[in-house]
Amino acid sequence: MILKLGAQKVEIDAGELVSYQVDGHEYIHQKGSPGWRSSDTEMFPIIGPTAEAKFQVQTPRDVAIQDQHGLLRELKYELISQTDIEAVYKKSYVARTPIKNSKHPEKSNKQFLYWTYDFEFEKKFELTNNGLEISFIVSGERDTPFMLGYHPAFNLVTKNPVVIAEEHSISLAQVLAVGSRAFKVIGYEEVILKDKNELRIRTEGFGNFMLWTEVPNMICIEPITFYPYDVEQKHLHEGFQFLTESSKTFKVFISVNS
């Protein structure tokens, strides 16, 4: 699916953002390039690894079986609506439904995953004159526990890109040095990626970022509600927030600084 507005062009494949171009410059990491097999995904209803906790996550309702970053990525998006500048997708899950784990058996001994609550997860792309707006709407019963992270990968074309979070400047070397744990940027709703151009990533509802890459040609700038490596895996539940109403909306705004 292609969305267009002025000099902006977005390509979406089954709910995955595979291209965001402005004036012909590609800002999204391309599949097949070194670094990662995807271009974006979501981390839900947990963020972080679970292997050391035997893939068990404690919820108020019982123990759930979750692999790294949750089971949402194992579900397929359904296209709900589309226009020339907007597309809306949705995933739905019924509590305790076993979901086949794509990491089994190579990276996990759990063939099936499950969560202990129903949920609906909506993802909306909208091009505006100011850039690309991506909304995530989490719906479920009151007090449903969850964490949310958005995991987009951005293309790098210079040797010394930096990520700016107010007074902090984070180099690519610093992110590479942290490795799989990801570099934490806590307490910020906006960062700027300075590469060939300046890409601004602003959020609503997340409150934090983490940065990850293993190669110099891409970087994942990930809005998160909780940084999972601050606790032991068996204590991941400490990072939950809870639905206080029937739904909660989180937003990510991506724009090019002129």
For 123-140, the pLDDT digits (tens) are: 999 999 999 999 999 999
Q: Where is 79: in which H helix or E strand? A: strand 78-82
Does residue 192 surpass a pLDDT of 90?
Answer: yes
In which domain, by residue range, is 32 found?
2-257
Question: Average pLDDT, stretch 135-149?
Answer: 97
Question: Average pLDDT, stretch 24-49?
Answer: 96
The DSSP line for 209-258 is EEEE-SSTTEEEEEEES--GGGS-GGGGGGG-EE-SSSEEEEEEEEEEE-
pLDDT tens figures, 80-107: 999 999 999 999 999 999 999 999 999 8
Give the list of residues 6+ apart from residue 244 with CB closer than 8 angstroms, or none. 142, 143
Number of domains in the chain: 1
Alpha helices in the chain, H assignment, sequence order: 172-178
- Of the chain, the percentage scoring pLDDT greater than 90 comes to 98
Q: Report d(CA 182, CA 222) in Å as an integer.
A: 10
**CA separation (Å) from 111 to 62, 97, 107, 190?**
19, 13, 10, 38
Q: Report d(CA 243, CA 142) in Å as an integer.
A: 5
Q: Report d(CA 186, CA 85) in Å as an integer.
A: 32
What's the whole-model pTM score? 0.96
pLDDT of residue 257: 86
- Residue-averaged pLDDT of the chain: 97
pLDDT of residue 258: 64
Does residue 150 surpass a pLDDT of 80?
Answer: yes
Question: Average pLDDT, stretch 181-202?
Answer: 97
Quote the strand ranges of 94-244, DSSP E. 99-100, 112-113, 119-128, 131-139, 145-146, 149-155, 162-165, 168-171, 183-186, 190-194, 198-204, 208-212, 218-224, 241-242
Within 13 Å and on the Cβ side, how many CA atoms surround 145?
19
CA-closest candidate to residue 152, choices 9, 14, 43: 43
CA-closest candidate to residue 41, choices 51, 31, 53: 31
Question: Average pLDDT, stretch 37-44?
Answer: 97
pLDDT tens figures, 199-221: 999 999 999 999 999 999 999 99
CATH number at 163 reads 2.70.98.10
CB of 178 closer than 8 Å to CB of 222: no
Tokens describing residue 16:
């995955």
Question: Backbone phi, then psi, for 228, in 5-degree steps?
Answer: -75, -15
The owner of tokens 């035997």 is 54
